[in-house]
Amino acid sequence: MSHADQSLRERILQTSRTLLYSQGHLALSMRSIAKEVGVSATSIYLYFDNKDHLLHTLIEESVEELSVFIEDKVLQATTVVDKFTENIRAYVEFALTNPEKYQIIYNVHPEAMSRYPKEKFRKARRCYELLVGFIEEGVAKGLMEVANPVIAAYSIWAQLHGVVSVVINQRLDNRIDRDLFVQESLDHIVQGFLVRSTV
């Protein structure tokens, strides 16, 4: 594989992400991608078997990038509580700074997701299992009050996803300050799990 190939593959993926985020699903046709990239539609098939393969690659890469981003951030934290909060903070940070990548993980779902290889879902759980570990450690050390760490982690993730989605999909009321909204929401989600006396 030459440099040029690599580059075209990357350009196709990047353009797809941008198109998907700015124009929506309906605008994401093989033709529109090719046009935007400045290449023939046929060329996409040199790198991807079909549209599904392209979409799945997009999901896979986003999942991977999100995981790596979180793992990186967590490594820099020291205490369990720090790792816990940093995990959450990093998740939101990634989503808000890379909305076109984050949204692919969740929004593509209904269409192509049914054909997404089940095994790859496991990868998507990586960062979530990280969170489970921190909670379990926190509970063991008496720093957190959590009945069921697995459920708690999933619940946190779900709530985060809700907060992030609202912001990304621009469903936030005009009168509400975006950063304040995110901050308050994060505080609320995190505080519920920490032992009060730690404050």
| Residues within the interface to a second copy (CB under 8 A) | 24-26, 107, 109-111, 114, 125, 147-148, 150-152, 154-155, 157-163, 165-166, 169, 172-173, 175-177, 180-181, 184-185, 188-189, 191-193, 196
42 interacts with, out of DNA, a second copy, none, CB within 5 to 8 A per kind: DNA
Closest separation in Å from C-beta 87 to a second copy: 16
- Closer by beta carbon to a second copy, 141 or else 188: 188
- Closer by beta carbon to a second copy, 78 or else 198: 198
1 interacts with, out of a second copy, DNA, none, CB within 5 to 8 A per kind: DNA
> Which amino acid is residue 117, in one-letter code?
P
Query: Using an 8 Å Cβ cutoff, are 44 and 30 in contact?
Result: yes
Three-class SS of 122-171: HHHCHHHHHHHHHHHHHHHCCCECCCCHHHHHHHHHHHHHHHHHHHHCCC
Closest separation in Å from C-beta 168 to a second copy: 11
151 interacts with, out of a second copy, DNA, none, CB within 5 to 8 A per kind: a second copy
- Closer by beta carbon to a second copy, 10 or else 177: 177
199 interacts with, out of DNA, a second copy, none, CB within 5 to 8 A per kind: none
Query: Using an 8 Å Cβ cutoff, are 138 and 84 in contact?
Result: yes
Tell me the backbone φ, ψ of residue 144, rounded to 5 degrees. -130, 150
Question: Radius of gyration over alpha carbons of the chain, in Å?
Answer: 19
- Rounded-to-integer distance, Cα 25 and Cα 180, Å: 30
- Closer by beta carbon to a second copy, 3 or else 171: 171
Chain contacts with DNA (rule: CB under 7 A) = 1-2, 4-5, 8, 26-32, 39-43, 45-46, 50-52
- Closer by beta carbon to a second copy, 76 or else 148: 148
Token representation of residue 165: 């989605």
Q: Which of 179, 199, 190 is nearest to 86 (CA)?
A: 190
Convert 148-165 to b/e letters by CB count within 10 Å (16 or more is b).
Answer: ebeebbeebbebbbebbe
91 interacts with, out of DNA, a second copy, none, CB within 5 to 8 A per kind: none
41 interacts with, out of a second copy, DNA, none, CB within 5 to 8 A per kind: DNA
Roughly what angle, to the nearest 10 degrees, separates helices 99-107 and 149-168?
120
